[in-house]
Amino acid sequence: MDKQLTEKIDPGSCMALIPARGGSKGVPKKNIRLLKGFPLIAYSIAAARLSEKIDRVVVSTDSQEIAEIAGKYGAEVPFLRPPEYAQDHSPDIDFVEHAIAWLGEQEGRIPEYLVHLRPTTPLRRSTVIDKAVRMIMEDEGATSLRSGFHCVHPPYKWLRISESGYMEPVMPGMTCDETNLPRQDFSEIYIPNGYVDVLKTEFIIKNHLMHGDRMIGFKTKEVPDIDTESDFKKLESYQEEKEALEKLLGYLQGIGGLE
């Protein structure tokens, strides 16, 4: 089956895959909650549509309501995700492999690259997405690309309370005194975020893994991520990516009026 799928990969093609489950316990209907008058998912669709490297924008959802909203803002929803791949604890690999298999079986064509865009990170620059896609296209040995931002307070300095009731370092092998060393003495740490991940479908099909051990680290700014009600309130007043927001709102207000 794997060989049959890899034979259907279209070299050089790139598709955005936006996951959007209908259920959300932290913020009900989070993916379609309005932000400045538009559903949250619409911002990821807009960023993908404005990209020069992305050929197609597909939303993977188990919700008919989300499917209809996604279609309104320029995405395709050629299938509904099966409920077993849309549970609270469903790993990302489930919806990714489902989308790949569906495309191969129903359309006979699979993109070489998947750009994974989470709706919960709404403020993106399409130029940054394009830079990430170009980077992985130029690296034949890479198994994937994942974005992240620099961690100002590295986990080497973190402590936890052990079963004995005393504090101990979070990082194995360290002493409490070593956690007091200047942060400049430690390696730089990056926290994965939802700005942009780029996946290689051939690697996924052959290994049933998303990222592999040759993952390109793509550095971005720290950007807002929506998980709670308070995150929505913070984003309403967020000013650092004002230019990116204006670009996305320009697309959404025009509903398809691409330059």
Cβ atoms of 34 and 234 within 8 Å: the answer is: no
Q: Residue 183 pLDDT more than 90?
A: no
58 strand-pairing partners: 17, 76
Q: What pLDDT, in 10s, does the model give residues 112-146?
A: 999 999 999 999 999 999 999 999 999 999 999 99
Among 22-36, 172-186, 197-211, the minimum mean pLDDT is found in 22-36
pLDDT given at position 259: 40
Look at the chain and count its residues: 259
The arithmetic mean of pLDDT across residues 149-162, rounded, is 91
Number of Cα atoms under 13 Å in the Cβ half of residue 237: 4
> Distance between the two ends of the chain, CA-based, in angstroms?
41
Q: Is the pLDDT of residue 24 over 80?
A: no
Task: State whether the Cα torsion 141-110-121-53 is positive or negative.
Answer: positive
Q: Residue 55 in 3-state DSSP?
A: coil
Give the pair of three-digit tokens for residue 140.
């034949």
- Residue 7 vs residues 10, 101, 147, 208, 214: alpha-carbon distances, Å: 8, 12, 29, 16, 23
Summarize the confidence of residues 177-188 as an average pLDDT: 88
Q: Beta 144-150 vs 190-200: how paired, if at all? A: antiparallel
Can you give the pLDDT at residue 257? 42
Rounded Cα–Cα distance for residues 38 and 22 (Å)? 17
Compute and round to an integer the Cα radius of gyration of the chain.
20
Q: Which domains does the chain have, with CATH numbers?
A: 2-151+191-254 (3.90.550.10), 152-187 (no CATH)
- Amino acid making up residue 127: T
CB atoms within 10 A of CB 13: 15
Q: Which residue's structure tokens are 């990209």?
A: 51
Distance of alpha carbon 194 from alpha carbon 120, whole angstroms: 8
What average pLDDT does the segment 162-178 reach? 93
